Structure 1
Amino acid sequence: MTAIRVTRLSKRFWNTQALSDVSFTVEAGEMVALIGASGSGKSTLIRHIAGLETGEGEGSGISLFGTPVQAGGRMLKGAKSVRGDVSVIFQQFNLVHRLSVLTNVLIGALGRIPRWRGTLGLFGAREKAKAREALERVGIGHAGAQRASTLSGGQQQRAAIARTLVQGARILIADEPIASLDPASAKRVMDVLASINRDDKITVLVSLHQVDYARRYFPRTIAMRDGRIVYDGPSSALTNEFLSELYGSASEELLLPDAPAAAPPRRPEPVRHPSLGALEAV
């Protein structure tokens, strides 16, 4: 089943064309990286899939698990029925610092319990057990009673992922989840994302600034430039040389210092995107 389908999505902010005729699909259970230099359109695309922005154009549309959620620049009624199936993690973690880590994770259950219970913060033993289990899975089971403000950045991001597990989402979208983390914390967060994709079959779409993580963790990468998709294929094909062809000097943003290139046995196959223009022949 197709988890995410984006069709001819465009978006303009004032004089900036943030997205231009973007189309792709992500199958259920896939783990896909979304890369691009600053201003390439990654975050704008993620905000559209998450339902935080609406696209433009009569032919534009977004569907989740076969349910249309956007079409022709407007949100559809079907969006509400699949909202609980999508969880979004941002670079800023979005935890309530004065609350305990366990309570922050329990917030993921709000869409699954009666509204009056959520308003009063009345979570049952079942929800609390699930939240503790989620914290154990992301490696911070010891921190449930702590205030969220006492956690390190990497621990806060893992708490946000635990909240996703409690939510029961079928799609996890992460916008630059490791951008502000040190390498050790970034690796732990990526290990957790790979684990829940593998073990829970959750569809994972992650935007990244560092291509080395895409090559290491993601079978497939979608590369964006100037609001367009310029590559969609195996992450193993993203050699430093190929990235330089796609991005020119901007490729320096995407490479970690001394990051080893994953040399493929042959050059990547051409990717035929109508928006690719002169780059179709690479």
Structure 2
Amino acid sequence: MTAISVSNLSKRYGKIRALDDVSLELEHGEMVALIGASGSGKSTLIRHIAGLEAGDGQAGKISVLGEVTQSGGRLNRNRRGAVSVIFQQFNLVDRLSVLTNVLIGNLGRVPRWRGTIGYFHRCERNKAQAALTRVGIPQVAAQRSSTLSGGQQQRAAIARTLVQEARILIADEPISALDPSSARRVMDVLADINTQDNITVLVSLHQVEYARRYCKRTIAMRDGRIVYDGPSTALSNAFLAELYGDASEELVLPDAPAEPMPVMPFGQTSRMAVHHLNA
């Protein structure tokens, strides 16, 4: 089954064209990296797939798990619960315990009155505790969220998505504010969820070496357009240097594998096609 399908999606903010006729498909169970310099359109694309924003015009269309979630510039929220999003900022409530923050993932499936007073059944609490165990931080359940490290907070946010039971997980730069050790732990958790639960994962990354290490497929964006969609192993350092410009020295490790990129005829419509960055 196709998990996510985006066709001819465009979005403009004033004179800025954030998305320019973007089309892509993610198959169920894939773990795909989304890369590109700041302002390339990654976060805007994620917001549209998550159902947080509608595209422009009549041509753009997004389907999630076979159901149209937006078309013609209008949102259809029927499948919104199937997609869970984690952000760089964690979005935990500092004054609440970690366990309560994870339990908040139930709010879309429990009566409003229970959510309002924070009443959760024992089975829901057990499930939240199991989610914390799954991401490797069961010992912090009773702590206030504000006492956790950045990496622990991000893993708590991932535990909350497990409680939501979404079938698609989108992570918008989840490790950009973390140290390398914490970043690896977060990426290990995402990879485990993808492999063990067969959950589709789309993860936006600045650190290209993580895309190469954890994702078989990478989609690269520049100026609101997809300029590469193919194997992560085929991302050459020369291509990445052009993609990121002056920032490439910080984002691409010098010892990262530099394999030749696939050469395909201009105009090829396969998702493996590589497009010229200045097209």
Name the TM tier (shorter chain).
Answer: over 0.9
Aligned residue number for residue 100 of structure 2: 103
Aligned residue number for residue 220 of structure 1: 217
Matched residues, percent identical?
69
Aligned residue number for residue 60 of structure 1: 60
After TM superposition, the structure 1 = structure 2 runs for residues 197-236 of structure 1, keeping only pairs within 5 Å, are 197-236=194-233
Cα distance change on mapping 1:276 and 1:128 into 2, 3 Å = same
Cα distance change on mapping 1:261 and 1:276 into 2, 3 Å = closer
Cα distance change on mapping 1:218 and 1:146 into 2, 3 Å = same
* Cα deviation code 1:3-60 (max 9, x no counterpart): 1111101011111111100000001110000000011000111111111111012110
Aligned residues of 1:5 and 1:63 also touching (Cα < 8 A): yes
Aligned residue number for residue 33 of structure 1: 33
TM superposition shift of 1:272: 4.4
* Structure-2-length-normalised TM-score: 0.93
Cα distance change on mapping 1:90 and 1:129 into 2, 3 Å = same
Cα distance change on mapping 1:277 and 1:101 into 2, 3 Å = closer
Aligned residue number for residue 3 of structure 1: 3
Aligned residue number for residue 187 of structure 2: 190
**Distance of 1:155 and 1:272 partners within structure 2:** 45
Number of residue pairs aligned between Structure 1 and Structure 2 = 275
* 2:34 maps to amino acid: L
Aligned residue number for residue 174 of structure 1: 171
2:158 to 158, 161, 164: 161
Q: Which runs of 5+ in 1 are unaligned?
A: none
Q: Which runs of 5+ in 2 are unaligned?
A: none
**Distance of 1:211 and 1:117 partners within structure 2:** 43
Aligned residue number for residue 114 of structure 1: 111
The answer to whether residue 262 in structure 2 is matched with residue 268 in structure 1 is yes
Aligned residues of 2:220 and 2:227 also touching (Cα < 8 A): yes
Superposition RMSD on alpha carbons, in Å? 2.0
Aligned residue number for residue 238 of structure 2: 241
Aligned residue number for residue 17 of structure 2: 17
* Structure-1-length-normalised TM-score: 0.92
Query: Which secondary structure state, in structure 1, belongs to the residue aligned with residue 108 of structure 2?
Result: helix
TM superposition shift of 1:237: 0.7
